[in-house]
Amino acid sequence: MEVTGKIRVINPTQQVSASFKKRELVVTTDEQYPQHIMVEFTQDKTDMLDSYRPGEDVKVSINLRGREWVSPQGETRYFNTIQGWRIERVQADAPQQYQQQPQYPQQPPQFQQQAPQAPSQPFAPAPNFNEEEHDDLPF
């Protein structure tokens, strides 16, 4: 999955435990009703955000994560995380992907295909057509 938008916030890296670190990024989507999506980068992925700044347009590849937690009192709660694993810059006024046709070298005239032409005279109707007759077509 992907989230595309403008970077709103890049938080500093947090050392959660001796072996776990995370960094949060907030991306504001460009929709009729913009959403502020918090994406969490963990471990070695936290360094990916070093070269980005608020205001840049980005595309973030994400995974949705969910987990269950049971409190000491026996209450069950569920938590979701949006985890980022790749981020890339997006040009604000770049055309959408695949809008420009690729340019291929011109083929020599003998290999160029020509559009089919309609027959000069229409086909005559079949003289003995029977819809009930079985044919060998696979469809």
- Domains within the chain, CATH numbers bracketed: 2-89 (2.40.50.140)
Residue 118 identity: A
| CA angle (14 as vertex; 21, 20 as ends), nearest 5 | 20
Q: Which residues contact 54 (CB under 8 A, 6 or more apart)?
A: 7, 8, 9, 10
Spell out the residues 6+ positions from residue 21 whose beta carbon is closer than 8 angstroms to its own: 13, 14, 15, 42, 43, 46
What's the pLDDT tens digit per position in 33-47?
A: 999 999 999 999 999
In 15-44, which positions are buried (b, 16+ CB within 10 angstroms) versus exposed (e)? eeeeeebbbbbbbbeeeeeeeebebbbbee
Q: What is the rounded radius of gyration, in angstroms, for the C-alpha atoms of the chain? A: 29
For residue 1, the model assigns a pLDDT of: 94
| pLDDT tens for each residue of 125-137 | 666 766 666 666 6
Q: What is the pLDDT of residue 91?
A: 83
Task: Note whether 59 and 20 are within 8 A (CB).
Answer: no
pLDDT in tens, 77-131: 999 999 999 999 998 665 555 445 555 556 666 666 666 666 666 666 666 766 6
CB 49 within 8 A of CB 25: yes
| Over residues 54-67, mean pLDDT | 96
